[in-house]
Structure 1
Amino acid sequence: MTGDPHVESHAGSPQPIMLRRSTALRVAMAAFALLVSCAVCGAAAPHCGILQAVGFAVATLAILMLGMLAYERRQPFVLKIGPDGVAAFSRAGEALLAGHIVGFSQWPHLFLVMAIAGCDGKGRVHPLLIPADSLSPDSFRELAVKARRGAR
């Protein structure tokens, strides 16, 4: 056991896979936020002056960073892959989604996107993005194989 009560509460379920926060995804989101903020400043400066344009850029950066933090909080901490589908749980042990894998896409060595159906009882399909650096290479390969099998 890991000593983490949130992980231990899921230990009886099929194959729990712990996820780390993705450094590559964080860097990409921060770079995007900076690029968009610079674009806002460059586009606004000729129309309203440099000081006001910088204010717009700072506001844009703040909004995008808050969105990034909200996205990070919604990401799963533990995945469980079973014969009947996949379930994702938050750090607090709350179920984020559960259902059958109905599709997947993989960009080798970068990330895996799974389409999960049956999460909300309305038949909608929800994406689940798993960056490669959030797992060990062996776990990422195993998850990709299970996603491929589950999507059939």
Structure 2
Amino acid sequence: MGWSVAFHALRALEIRHLTLTDARDLAAGHLHRPGRTVLLAEPVQARMNAYLAHRARRRPNTANPHFFLTLHTALSTTPVSRPWLYRHYPASSNLLRRDRIVDEAQAADGDIRLTCDLFGLSIQAATRCTAAGDFLSR
């Protein structure tokens, strides 16, 4: 799951609530999130496909629509718990997410719209990230 932060800066809540429907175009390298489509990096796409194969082997008859499952959530339709996620997700995920966004904002040469589209940010948040990138590059 750290791969989803490292490459695409997904929030912990987004990862927890990912569904199989969100991954419907995984073969094409797309992850659908409310209001945006994330173009997946090849390593992320490969890991997500591997996890789906593992999930299908371990829990072939679950009715749970969420991407990630545990022994308990496979018997329900709830997402994984926060404690489960944080055991598998780096504690510094917010810092990693911010660093990733600032790096991409800097690489986008101030293209705020691109930063908004990539990470699902508001214009105000993308502007802050671009300003942070300008400050850090001095």
What TM-score do you get using the length of structure 2 for normalisation? Answer: 0.29
What TM-score do you get using the length of structure 1 for normalisation? Answer: 0.27
Tell which structure's C-alpha radius of gyration is larger: 1
Specify which structure has the higher proportion of strand. Answer: 1
Higher relative contact order (CA 8 A, sep 6+): 2
Specify which structure has the higher proportion of helix. Answer: 2
